[in-house]
């Protein structure tokens, strides 16, 4: 099948999926969630005040009309205004995207490369003390809460040693480095543990396949087998793991951005949750859903690039 035709067809499949996602979002925020007017006014609000706020927010309209608003925003990315700040949500997303990505992209790239390199290294020395110690360290890193890394990093590396800024954000190079370096390091530490364990398992699953025994019988060295044959066949689950994480980078890291005072999308989302700012929460949910669908298509296309046996249907 032509790859362009496949992409177009998969993009067409996005329409019913998005409609379903919008229905779930509408049900969660308009049916299950408490009345936003009562949350904003408090328990002592009168019925008249509640009706006025509901009318102002457009909550007095029929449910189907409100559902269509969510569907429209999914395709036009016009999410209206924030209830709490009265800003255009699109402008809020644009302003928060750059701070979030300055932390998320370097951390994601470093963590991915480091995890794959470590996984291949310990797979080469599988069963050795180095392999066992690496697994032990990975489990230890995963066992600690992200909050522990944040608080320790701020206290020791920022406050005691003064290597980094404790909190804040300066979008000017090179000052920006002192603000984002520590969050990036913490993000990498949080990601390396689970990623190394997963990639190591994937590689070891390939080590015991028949084609590996055949390659050994032909006299190929372990390095050639590992890096030329095993790694290539292990790339499908690795690609799936890598690409599936990319949509979640949109929201940034809620705790990291909150504790380090980074004005990114994670902080915007957290503030929206705390203030019950439903339009912002809906916007972030819709963006995540759209990104997830798009990158799932990219994942399928990438499969054909690393494994010619796979055909798009």
186-201 pLDDT, tens digit each:
888 888 888 888 888 8
Task: Provide, rounded to the nearest whole percent, the portion of the chain with pLDDT above 70.
Answer: 92
In angstroms, the CA 182 to CA 166 distance is 9
Give a yes or no: residue 205 inside a domain.
Answer: yes
The encoded tokens of residue 134 equal 């690496």
Tell me the pLDDT tens digit for each residue of 83-131: 777 888 888 888 888 888 888 888 889 998 998 888 888 877 777 888 8
Identify the three-state secondary structure at position 81: strand
Give a yes or no: residue 82 inside a domain.
Answer: no
Q: With a cut of 70, say whether residue 310 has pLDDT above it.
A: no
108 by Cβ neighbours in 10 Å (0-12 / 13-18 / 19+) ranks as: buried
Residues 281, 272 contacting (CB under 8 angstroms): yes
Residue 42: what pLDDT? 67
- Of 96, 137, 113, 78, the closest CA to residue 263 belongs to 96
Q: What is the DSSP string of 149-194?
A: HHHHIIIIIIIIS--S-SS----STTHHHHHHHHHHHHHHHHHHHH
- Domain shared by 51 and 165, yes or no: no
Residue 93: what pLDDT? 85
- Domain shared by 238 and 167, yes or no: yes
Residues 269, 284 contacting (CB under 8 angstroms): yes
Give a yes or no: residue 95 inside a domain.
Answer: no
Identify the three-state secondary structure at position 29: helix
User: Using a CB cutoff of 8 Å and minimum separation of 24, what contacts does 245-249 make?
Assistant: 245/108, 246/108, 246/291, 246/295, 247/288, 247/291, 247/292, 247/294, 247/295, 248/288, 249/100, 249/101, 249/104, 249/105, 249/108
Residue that has been written with the tokens 């005040």 in this structure: 49
- Domain shared by 112 and 207, yes or no: yes
Q: Residue 48's domain spans which residues? A: 3-76
- Domain shared by 197 and 262, yes or no: yes
- Of 247, 245, 241, the closest CA to residue 285 belongs to 247
Q: Specify the pTM.
A: 0.78
Tell me the pLDDT tens digit for each residue of 216-238: 788 777 777 777 778 777 787 88
Residue 87 neighbours by CB distance under 10 Å: 12
Residues 247, 291 contacting (CB under 8 angstroms): yes
- Domain shared by 145 and 58, yes or no: no
- Domain shared by 260 and 111, yes or no: yes
Number of domains in the chain: 2
Q: With a cut of 80, say whether residue 153 has pLDDT above it.
A: yes
- Domain shared by 237 and 118, yes or no: yes
Half-sphere exposure of 120 (CA within 13 A, CB side): 20
Residue 311: what pLDDT? 63
In angstroms, the CA 77 to CA 75 distance is 6
Separation of CA 268 from chain center: 15
pLDDT-derived band at 299, boundaries 50, 70, 90: confident
Identify the three-state secondary structure at position 88: strand
Task: Provide, rounded to the nearest whole percent, the portion of the chain with pLDDT above 90.
Answer: 0
In angstroms, the CA 115 to CA 231 distance is 13
The encoded tokens of residue 61 equal 């309209």
Residue 81, by phi and psi: left (phi above 0), alpha (psi -120 to 50) or beta? beta
Give a yes or no: residue 189 inside a domain.
Answer: yes
For range 63-83, the mean pLDDT = 82
The encoded tokens of residue 152 equal 């320790």
Q: Identify the H or E element spanning 222.
A: helix 222-224
- Domain shared by 191 and 266, yes or no: yes
The encoded tokens of residue 261 equal 């005072």
Give a yes or no: residue 231 inside a domain.
Answer: yes
Residue 308: what pLDDT? 62
- The percent of the chain in helix, strand and coil, each rounded to the nearest 5, is 75, 0, 20
């Amino acid at each position: 099948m032509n790859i362009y035709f496949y992409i177009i067809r998969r993009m067409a499949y996005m329409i019913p999926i998005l409609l379903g996602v919008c229905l779930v979002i509408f049900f969660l925020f308009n049916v299950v969630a408490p009345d936003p007017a009562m949350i904003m006014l408090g328990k002592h609000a009168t019925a008249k005040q509640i009706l006025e706020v509901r009318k102002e927010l457009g909550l007095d309209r029929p449910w189907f009309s409100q559902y269509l608003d969510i569907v429209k925003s999914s395709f036009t990315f016009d999410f209206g205004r924030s209830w709490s700040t009265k800003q255009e949500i699109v402008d809020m997303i644009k302003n928060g995207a750059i701070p979030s990505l300055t932390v998320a992209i370097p951390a994601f790239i470093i963590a991915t490369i480091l995890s794959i390199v470590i996984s291949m290294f310990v797979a080469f020395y599988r069963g050795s003390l180095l392999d066992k110690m690496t697994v032990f360290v990975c489990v230890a890193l995963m066992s600690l809460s992200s909050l522990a890394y944040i608080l320790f990093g701020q206290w020791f590396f920022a406050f005691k040693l003064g290597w980094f800024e404790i909190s804040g954000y300066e979008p000017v190079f090179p000052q920006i480095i002192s603000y984002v370096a520590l969050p990036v390091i913490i993000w990498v530490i949080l990601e390396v543990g689970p990623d190394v364990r997963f990639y190591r398992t994937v590689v070891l699953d390939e080590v015991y396949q028949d084609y590996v025994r055949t390659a050994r019988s032909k006299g190929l060295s372990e390095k050639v087998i590992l890096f030329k044959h095993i790694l290539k066949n292990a790339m499908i689950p690795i690609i799936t793991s890598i690409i599936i994480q990319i949509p979640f980078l949109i929201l940034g890291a809620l705790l990291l951005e909150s504790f380090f005072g980074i004005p990114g999308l994670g902080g915007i989302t957290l503030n929206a949750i705390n203030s019950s700012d439903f339009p912002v929460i809906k916007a972030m949910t819709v963006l995540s859903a759209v990104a997830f669908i798009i990158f799932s298509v990219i994942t399928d296309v990438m499969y054909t690039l690393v494994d010619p046996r796979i055909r798009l249907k």
